[in-house]
Chain A
Amino acid sequence: MSQLTDNLRNLQQVQMDADTARRQRDFLLERIGAEQVAPENAWQSFWHVFNHPYVFKPFAYVTAVFVLFVTGTFYTMSAATQSEPGGTFYPVKLKFEQLQVAFENNDTQRAKKQIEYADRRLTELSSLQSDVSPVDKQEKVATVVKHFNDSLQDVKSSLEKAATAGANDSNGDVVDVVALVNNKSTDFADVLSTHSDDLSTTVKTALEKEVQDIKNYSLEVLVAKYQKYRDRIPESIIIDQLQEKIIALGEEVSTLEDEDIKAEALEQLSAMQELLEDRQFEDALAGIKAYEQWFAEMIAPEDTASNEGEVLGEEEIVGDLEIHIDTTSTTSTIPVLETQIQSEGEIE
């Protein structure tokens, strides 16, 4: 039986010979060509294929699902972008921001985004001024402050990674991000100073310190990068940044009333200026850090005395929420501001 079926399969070699098949094909095409009305054009061909139920229906379903998905996503993102702290879509907004950060190419780009989002948090803080319910407002302020602090920590983390990144990481971006941090730090400080009513002195001081530390840290990253890749970062950028810093410190000194401290401060600043002129950038930066620590100690007793009740207590009440702040760090690196919000429900 197997032999028979094999032989049957061999019958496939019985074929109409090629010439006959070609002639027959031509004959048939000629016949139908003479009878048909008009050949289809390209558009008609496309339409007949597209309009076929097997093509059109799946296409229609896929398109409908796609449109619903895009519309839904667009609506959600639109609602999220405009949402305010405490709003339903506010957590979505924050998640979307995290997603955007994750899609950035390198750490300096990520730092830029994170600064932008920190700026956004302070804008939200300002917009809360019009909130009528004091309880709601306090909760929302606490939420915004938490996320602002988170953004600052993220910036710090990205800067740390950028500092240790290899030559492949864009050094031009480092220069940009340092300039951005400088500008934004000034803006942040200005905004925070306008929120004395919303933020306790401790929280405000801690945030201001955090902002200042990130500003200093970005300068450290820039100098460290310059030391490693001198040919890629212009020297003038380093000089300008350090010069600006020394000038800012000098302006601060000019407001002091104690002549002895003032004289000592100016002497130290002069020494740093000389180091800068000698292109000893690392030493100049180390001098600035040491000076700032010394200066803080010099002016601290008066400030501490005036805020004794608040600063000594490390728990600060913002509305019904407790914010725990570590203000003990005095090292040159940024102290960790641990903000823990405890309330009955989790707040995003």
Chain B
Amino acid sequence: MNAFKKIKDSILIERIRSGSQDAYAIIYDQYHQQIYRFILFKVSSRQVAEDITADVFLKTWEYITGSDKTIENIQALLYSIARNAVIDYYRTKSEHYGLDDTIQAVDQKSEDHTHEIDVKQDVNQLVNQMSKLSDEYNEIITLHYVEDFSIREVAEILGKTENNVRVTLHRALKSLKKIVEDNESTD
């Protein structure tokens, strides 16, 4: 996380604490898509991911305004709250939304475009395969390969050492590759 972004986030947090809705809207606009994806890849349901995303941002606001602790990395805070929200979701809900919801929602939006449908199907297949990974592997692959965060940034967000992230990432990718290959051989 570069110094400029750090300062910018810190200032936004200070503004939120002083009641600025604009500052909160800026944070939402900046991070909602990546938090949504992070959750979606874990819960495999568009509807659930949307609900949890809203919950994450509401909890983030409550956390920021409810304490005067220094928050240097709002991105790490959002991911941390998102992880806990997903854990809470699995803990409290016995009902698990199926992946079919996600596929249907994506396909309906682009039904007139054959190429896009193919792409979406590939994407959904991969999301499905990722959902078979452990939470640890899932989120580390999401952060590094999907969101394009550096090893250092991933370590910062997950609260791990860089070496630990490297090792876990290597194992996660290997595991995903095996899932993909198994899936192809089954098909």
Which chain B residues lie closer than 8 Å to A17 at the CB level? Answer: 109
A1/B177 contact (C-beta < 8 A), A8-B126, A25-B28, A25-B29 known: yes
Cβ B19 vs Cβ A40 within 8 A:
yes
Q: Which of A15, A21, A37, A54 contacts B37 (CB 8 A)?
A: A15
Which chain A residues lie closer than 8 Å to B17 at the CB level? Answer: 48
Q: Which of B24-82 contact A (CB under 8 A)?
A: 24-25, 28-29, 32-33, 36-37, 40-41, 49-50, 53-54, 57-58, 61, 65
Which chain A residues lie closer than 8 Å to B54 at the CB level? Answer: 24, 27-28
**Most interface-central of A5, A16, A39 (chain B CB within 10 A):** A16
Measured in the bound complex, the distance between the Cα atoms of B33 and A20 in whole Å is 11
Q: Which of A1, A4, A16, A40 contacts B50 (CB 8 A)?
A: A16
Cβ B10 vs Cβ A9 within 8 A:
no
Cβ B21 vs Cβ A7 within 8 A:
no
Q: Which of A17-75 contact B (CB under 8 A)?
A: 17, 20-21, 24-25, 27-29, 31-33, 36-40, 44-45, 48-49, 51-55
Cβ A37 vs Cβ B19 within 8 A:
yes
Which chain B residues lie closer than 8 Å to A10 at the CB level? Answer: 119, 122-123, 126
A31/B176 contact (C-beta < 8 A), A8-B126, A39-B19 known: no
Cβ B7 vs Cβ A40 within 8 A:
no
Which chain B residues lie closer than 8 Å to A36 at the CB level? Answer: 19, 21, 65
Please tell me if B165 contacts chain A, counting CB pairs below 8 Å: no
Which chain A residues lie closer than 8 Å to B127 at the CB level? Answer: 11, 14
Q: Which residue of B lies closest to A13 (CB)?
A: B123
Q: Which residue of B lies closest to A21 (CB)?
A: B32
Measured in the bound complex, the distance between the Cα atoms of B134 and A141 in whole Å is 93
Which chain A residues lie closer than 8 Å to B14 at the CB level? Answer: 48-49, 51-52
Cβ B15 vs Cβ A45 within 8 A:
yes
Please tell me if A306 contacts chain B, counting CB pairs below 8 Å: no
Measured in the bound complex, the distance between the Cα atoms of B12 and A49 in whole Å is 8
Cβ A4 vs Cβ B176 within 8 A:
yes
Main secondary structure of the interface of B (DSSP, over half): helix
Cβ A20 vs Cβ B50 within 8 A:
yes
Cβ B15 vs Cβ A54 within 8 A:
no
Chain A interface: which of B87-95, B141-149, B154-162?
B141-149
Which chain A residues lie closer than 8 Å to B146 at the CB level? Answer: 8-9, 11-12
Task: Give A278 Cβ to nearest chain B Cβ, in Å.
Answer: 78
Task: Give B109 Cβ to nearest chain A Cβ, in Å.
Answer: 7
> 9 extra interchain contacts, Cβ-Cβ under 8 A, other than A16-B50, A49-B11?
A1-B173, A7-B126, A8-B126, A11-B126, A15-B33, A16-B53, A48-B17, A52-B7, A52-B14
A–B Cβ pairs within 8 angstroms, 26 of them = A5-B145, A7-B122, A8-B146, A10-B122, A11-B127, A15-B36, A16-B50, A24-B50, A24-B53, A28-B28, A29-B25, A31-B58, A32-B21, A32-B58, A33-B21, A36-B21, A36-B65, A38-B19, A40-B18, A44-B18, A48-B11, A48-B14, A52-B11, A52-B14, A54-B6, A55-B7
